[in-house]
Every structure is written in structure tokens, then in C-alpha cells.
Structure 1
């Protein structure tokens, strides 16, 4: 049976994929998007017209508690994906990131606490909260470490979710995806940065090539959100999802080059390198909990996901500015 659903951050990369998936499953989806004077609804405007026609769009800001309360009203399921997510931006504007990611999450949780019909709120965490892996695979018991202002805000948001579950009985689950990639992702992320440059210029400019990441295709991440919302055993829990294997950025460049059918020359630029104590050297997901709770298995291999992403970026190169460093 279709549920009354809210997705915050619905115009974003993962949010738009989740919104589309929920609508296709027959849920009655309300999408909260940040208001702007252009009436730009982000990636929602790229959804098929028949899907978009089924979505109720609310405009507002997570920093406005009244706007959040109106969006939550009458919703049975709330998926909270709205956030400022760029790590370089968090170095430049940490207060803005705190206001959106911490205060905004508090507004969502408090609106959910006051709801009489809410069945589940799913908060979106990030593998960045773990910092550099102290052991691999990283399970949910791994210590958290705020190695960037962004990571610190997500640690705080996760803790707020746990506190609302323990203090008020708010039905919170926290999904912690490892690095997600795919169509509709901006060049602030590593895979679109590599692909968009490789398609348009002879040399790809990057930061360090040795950090390791566990990369999950966005359709798998969206499916994980759907699954955790229906899993009663996940109430009050933080749950990792990822492929369970990692690659270096250098190896990622080689894989993308193989899909493009050409070697990719790389130039390292200092302004693309994180401060040394802030760089997360390795992330590799431990997914035993998700496997036990709802039989989690990613359906897409890294290469299959990369191939679909290359095809999408090739068809949408006008959305990218390969000559600029996107933070």
C-alpha cells in the first residue's frame, strides 16, 4: 500500500533518485526543496513527466522550523536527505553547514516527534563520520571522528537522531551510505570530476590519487533507503550500506579510462588536496548488519555503475564546467 512520504533534499543527487523510486512504488511523495528565486527544483526537473506529475513539491528551507513542520504534516514516512554535503565548502563556510545539517536536522526530528501519524524517519548519515579507517571493513562500532566540519555536523545529526529515539520514542533509523555515485551527481564529487574532464580535455586535474573509497551506485543506495524504512529491526539503529570493497582514486581513473577506451593523463593540483589531518585515507564498508536485517546486497558492480554514469555525463556535458574546480 502506498504511504504518505516526505523526502527532504529531494532535488539533490540521491534525493531525486529516491523520490523517483518511491513514486514508482506507488507512494504519495511530497518533496521538500530549498526555495530559490529561479523556482529551480534541482534534479526533480529531470524526472520523467509522468513521475514528476505525481510528486507534491514543497518549497522551503531546513533552517525554517515552520516550513519543515508544514512539510512533515500528515506524512507516514520521512526520509531526511537535505544537507550541505561538500567538504571543501565546509572548510570555507562551516557555520552555514552547521545551520543546515545540525539545526535543520533538529527541526526535522522535532516536527516528526510532534506528528501523530509518523511511522518512520530515516536520517541520512555518511561514511565520512568514521574518518580514516582504524580497521577494515568498517562496521557500525567503529569510532567516529570529525576530520572535516562537514563530517562533524553529520556526527551531530546522527547523535540527535539517536537522542530523539531514546528520549521521545521517535521512530528513527539512520542509514549510513558509503560513497555514492551515478547519474545526476555534480562535479564536486570525484567520479563526475574525472569523467567530465576526461571527456573534454587532454589532462585531468585531481588531488591525491592514493586515498581509498568504497563506491556504491546510486540506485543501490536508493533501494537501501526503501528497505530500511520497512525494516522494524532497524529502529533505533545506524546501518552501513556499501559494496564492501574499496579502490584507490588512481585505480578509479584507470577503470574510467578503460570504459572510455583511452588512458587518462592526470595532473595533481595542490588546491584540490585536503588539509593533511582532514584527509580520510581509507573507507571500506562493513555491511554485515544490513545483510542480517534485510539481506542487503548491491545489485550493481563498480564497472556497471561507472558505465551508466559515463553514458549519462556524456549526454549531459552542458551541466558541467570541466575547466573549473567545483567545491
Structure 2
């Protein structure tokens, strides 16, 4: 795919979407950033995009739940990277209806418009949460899907809808399945920003939920490179592809590593409100990334314990900048 083609990025105002938008512009793509309409005329993290990117992409404010706006945004585009979604698991416990509308219906809107407009490629964003607690490790793309939260159930539904359009209408869809992405700009609802912001705010007692589950953390630059590899590869259509580091670490050990890098002595305090219901907690995630290496030529640049440490150092550096830290409310539980 030539770099001068026009790419729509939905969810471009979010954590991963803003980094992806920047990376695409730097690679010479003509980018249209689909952002959530609001009366403040805010484009989320794109309001603070890197200086070399500012003014070099188009912004379309809309709502992924509206099929008419989605189709309008997609007109004239060659490909769509669909990231727009509700992703907070605790919020899905009490507001599941919004997850169906945003994640499943929103994905349907993108797929239907892509079919009608004959878009050359759609990359749909999945999540490792669709696997639930690992039944075997490392987790391949053939692992059973388990909806252990309304969020993960909605993403399973969206994934299946995407694949159904490929099977039924030959819509050129590929599904990227990132494992736990972290890095600058991530929401404080995620564990790594939660820990960093609490420590950076001077706390010695860090309030957390469960610390025994394991995760496969991926620095945002690796995830972004995975999206671009999916976009540029002819072999991604009709495929579900894990983007993961193939390195497993517990939440507790992650917290210790962050404290070590920040040179702080801390105590972990269990906060009941942050605990997931027992059967909803995903106990273990560990990615098999062989398919990404084989089909896309992608592999993590921040892999293993050394890569994880480097990624955490860069993340900590960003969060501990006073201008960035001031955006976060370390004294509150962010769902």
C-alpha cells in the first residue's frame, strides 16, 4: 500500500490512536483522524500531538455509533484502521448497553460503509481480553474465546462481525489483537499509569486490585508498528493476528519493577473497589506472536524483561513530567 493513500483512523483521539496517527503521518500517509464529537471541539490527545505532526492531518468529529457520520468520514479513504471503542472493564459492569452500541454496532457501521464504498482494507482492533483466562500458554489465535466481562463479550461480538463481512461479502478485513498496551497518554484506569501516578504524587501506599494475575505488556510503539504492519501487508486480510511481546509478568512484579525504576519504597494496599468479580478476572495472559512474525514480519522492539524495563522508563519519564502528571487524578479510582 502506497504511503500517499488516504487512511481513516477511528478512535484517533485516544491513547493508541493518537500515537498511531502520529506514526502514519511521519510515514507519509494522508491521515483523516476520526474523533468523538464534543462541544469543546477537543480532539483528545491529538490536541497535544507532537510539533512535527500538528496541522498535517485532517480531523473529522463524529460518533462511531452513527452510521451516516461514519460513512461520511470514510468517503475518499483507501483504508480504515478501526480503533474506536469503549475499553474500560469496570465501566462495562454497570453500563453494558453502551458497549454493545459502541463496540458492536460501531464496528458494523465501519464494515457496512467499507462494503458500500469499496474500501481496500479495514483493520479492526480486537483485544487479548477476548481470550479470558489462558487455557494454554502461550496463547495462539486458535485459543477459545471467553466473554468474562461485558467489555470482552462486546469485543468478541465485534470481532465476529468483522470476520463475518470477510466471509460473507469478501470485505477485505484483518483483525489485529493487541495484548496489554502501555505507554505515554494511557488512561489511569490501567494498572501501569495507576502505579506511576500514585508514586509520582508522593504516595508510599499504592492502592491496587489483584496483583497475582499475569499480563503480556506491550509498549505502545510496538503496538503501533503492529497496526502499520497489518495495514501494509497483503497477508493480513482474513486473518486474526496477535500483537504481543511473548513475555509474561505478574501485576505484582510489574509494580515492584516500577518502584525500583522510580527509586521508591512502596507498600501495596488491596482496594476492594478495584477488584474484579472473581469469575470475571482474567488470571493469565501470555501471547504467542509467531503468526505476526511469520505473516507480517513484525516483532517487538521492547520484548523481554530488558525491553519491558526500557518501555517503563520511557513511560515513567512522560508521566512524571509535571504538565502531564497534572492531567491525572492519582487520588481517585478511575474506572
- TM-score band by shorter chain is over 0.9
Q: Does 1:306 align with 2:312?
A: yes
Aligned partner (choices 2, 27, 47) of residue 4 of structure 2: 2
Structure 1 portions without partners, runs of 5+ = none
Equivalence for 2:128: 127
In structure 2, how many angstroms separate the alpha carbons of the residues matched to 1:244 and 1:49?
Answer: 34
Alignment map for 1:118-267 (pairs within 5 Å): 118-200=119-201, 201-267=203-269
Equivalent position SS for 1:22: helix
Aligned partner (choices 35, 38, 42) of residue 36 of structure 1: 38
Q: Does 1:323 align with 2:324?
A: no
CA offset at residue 48 of structure 1?
A: 2.1
In structure 2, how many angstroms separate the alpha carbons of the residues matched to 1:195 and 1:2?
Answer: 39
Supply the RMSD in Å over aligned alpha carbons.
0.8
Alignment map for 1:62-73 (pairs within 5 Å): 62-73=64-75
Equivalent position SS for 1:52: coil
Structure 1 residue ranges (4+ consecutive) displaced by more than 2 angstroms after TM superposition: none
Equivalence for 2:18: 16
In structure 2, how many angstroms separate the alpha carbons of the residues matched to 1:233 and 1:67?
Answer: 30
Equivalence for 1:105: 107
TM-score, normalised via structure 2 length:
0.96
Contact 2:204–2:265 under 8 Å retained in 1: no
Contact 1:136–1:284 under 8 Å retained in 2: yes
Contact 2:196–2:319 under 8 Å retained in 1: yes
CA offset at residue 49 of structure 1?
A: 3.5
In structure 1, how many angstroms separate the alpha carbons of the residues matched to 2:83 and 2:54?
Answer: 19
Cα deviation, 1:3-26, whole Å, max 9, x if unaligned, reads: 100000000000000000000001
CA offset at residue 202 of structure 1?
A: 1.9
Cα deviation, 1:108-150, whole Å, max 9, x if unaligned, reads: 100001113x221000000000000000000000000000000
In structure 2, how many angstroms separate the alpha carbons of the residues matched to 1:296 and 1:284?
Answer: 17
Equivalence for 1:83: 85
TM-score, normalised via structure 1 length:
0.98
In structure 2, how many angstroms separate the alpha carbons of the residues matched to 1:178 and 1:255?
Answer: 19
In structure 1, how many angstroms separate the alpha carbons of the residues matched to 2:54 and 2:191?
Answer: 29
In structure 2, how many angstroms separate the alpha carbons of the residues matched to 1:239 and 1:43?
Answer: 27
